Amino acid sequence: MSKAPRDIMLDGLWRDNPIFRQILGICSTLAVTNVVLNTAVMCVSLTVVTMMSCLTVSLLRDWTPRNIRMMVQTLIIAFYVIIVDLILKAYWPEMSRNLGPFVGLIITNCIVMGRCEAFAGSNPPGPAVLDGMFNGLGYSFILLAIAVLRELLGMGTILGFEIPYFATPYWDKWIIMVMPPGGFFVLASILWVCRSIGAKEVKK
């Protein structure tokens, strides 16, 4: 059941997008999208962890007994997550504290284990890494879209830079956007938009 690289990329980015198709990894989507910079770091972390976990799971796939494969996957994912967490703590402590527990919670992100289980466990390393990477990117672009909207509407800035009009008193800041409920509103709107576009494609 080999898949062409093009299909792997398109599936990860759009056709089987983890966020708006599979609705996976929603907790972090809601939690870390109030400021663009935090989101970007979270996206990079998740993409790296997914890629590396898929690679390792794929390399070990011929050795791992089927009945304990989940345990092995969890161990591998936890390994990479802790490494990412340690790197942030050591070299970017401010960011590590901004993200709080959410880096550690990548372990429980369904996207990572989902890809290991659904793809990497039964495919060679090359395609597995590609699949992990593009699922990570599919997650990332939706998260960044949410974060840009939330930070812009809620604080009038993007990446901390003041945006003309939105940072001036003319724009009454939608404070709720940077608070937890804002995550639900924006996520739902983006799901709606993306799925509407997707529905048109299917009709064609």
Partner 1 sequence: MKDKPWFAVAYMFVITVFFSTVLIGFARLTQDRVIANEQVMFERAVLESFPEIDVPPTPQVNQRFSELFKKSDDAAGAFVYLKDGQIAGYAVPLEGKGFWAPIRGVVGVSKDLTTILGISFYDQNETPGLGARITEADFREQFEGLTVGKIERPIGIRPPSVSPADNEVHAISGATQTCVRLEVLINEALSAWLEAMNGREVDDE
Q: Interface with partner 1 by CB under 8 A: which range of 14-22, 61-69, 110-118, 123-131? A: 61-69
Instruction: Report the run of H or E that residue 157 belongs to, with start and end.
Output: strand 157-158
Q: Interface with partner 1 by CB under 8 A: which range of 7-15, 85-93, 125-133, 188-196? A: 85-93
Distance set, CA 139 to CA 54, 121, 132, 144 (Å): 16, 21, 11, 9
Q: Interface with partner 1 by CB under 8 A: which range of 65-73, 121-129, 139-147, 162-170? A: 65-73
Q: Interface with partner 1 by CB under 8 A: which range of 16-24, 81-89, 113-121, 191-199? A: 81-89
Write each residue from 125 to 164 as x if it is in contact with partner 1 (CB under 8 A), else as -, in one continuous string. -----------------------------xx---------
Taking alpha carbons only, the member of 125, 106, 119 closest to residue 58 is 125
Applying CB under 8 A, does 100 fall inside the site for partner 1?
A: yes
Rounded-to-integer distance, Cα 162 and Cα 169, Å = 12
Question: To the nearest whole angstrom, how small is the minimum distance from the Cβ of residue 175 to partner 1?
Answer: 5
Check: CB of residue 139 under 8 Å from CB of residue 111: yes
Between 8 and 84, name the residue whose CB sits nearer to partner 1.
84
Write each residue from 14 to 53 as x if it is in contact with partner 1 (CB under 8 A), else as -, in one continuous string. --------------------xx------------------
Question: To the nearest whole angstrom, how small is the minimum distance from the Cβ of residue 18 to partner 1?
Answer: 25
- Provide the 8-state DSSP code for 63: T
CA-CA-CA-CA torsion sign (92, 107, 76, 143): negative
Taking alpha carbons only, the member of 130, 149, 163, 162 closest to residue 193 is 149
Distance set, CA 18 to CA 25, 32, 161 (Å): 8, 17, 30
Residue 161: Cβ-neighbour burial (10 angstroms; 0-12, 13-18, 19+):
exposed
Number of residues that bind partner 1 (CB under 8 A): 29
Q: Which residues bind partner 1 (CB under 8 A)?
A: 34-35, 60, 63-65, 67-68, 71-72, 75-76, 79, 82-83, 86-87, 89-91, 93, 97, 100, 154-155, 173, 175, 178-179
